[in-house]
Amino acid sequence: MQDEPTTTELIKAVADFLRSEITPVIKGHNAFKLRVGINALDLVTRQLALAESSDAAEVARLKQLLGADGTLMELNRTLSDKIASGEVDLTTPGLPEHLWQTTLDKLAVDQPNYASYKRESGT
């Protein structure tokens, strides 16, 4: 394990540098590509901060919902198969809440400025 700065701090520092120092002097298509790169760095920072806890919460909800154990991928595959077969649907207790919370958790990482996400999450 490395000491300070953390991985998140390093990524954020690079994104902030690019945003404040480089973006103002880049024009045209390169400015667009720079913004895409900055957005990718911001996304990675959010993934590092949020993904582990949201994945753990999703696994816990899936285990309870399905009454099964497994990895996140395995549990999601099982849920998908059960939905496809009609064994599970939106009348299944806990499913709508699970799907809603999973969606909000993914939006927190991917699109935290999305207007509907902000409205629903209260941020």
- Any domain includes 1: no
Q: Are 47 and 84 in contact (CB under 8 A)?
A: no
- Any domain includes 54: yes
Mean pLDDT value across residues 91-104: 97
Mean pLDDT value across residues 89-107: 97
Q: What is the pLDDT of residues 19-34, one digit of tens each?
A: 999 999 999 999 999 9
- Any domain includes 94: yes
Provide the CA 27 distance to its chain's centre, in angstroms. 30
For residue 17, CA distances in Å to 9, 12, 23, 32, 63 come to 12, 8, 9, 16, 42
Enclosing domain of residue 84: 7-121
Size of the chain, expressed as the number of residues it contains: 123
- Any domain includes 32: yes
Number of domains, the chain:
1
pLDDT computed for residue 121 by the predictor:
86
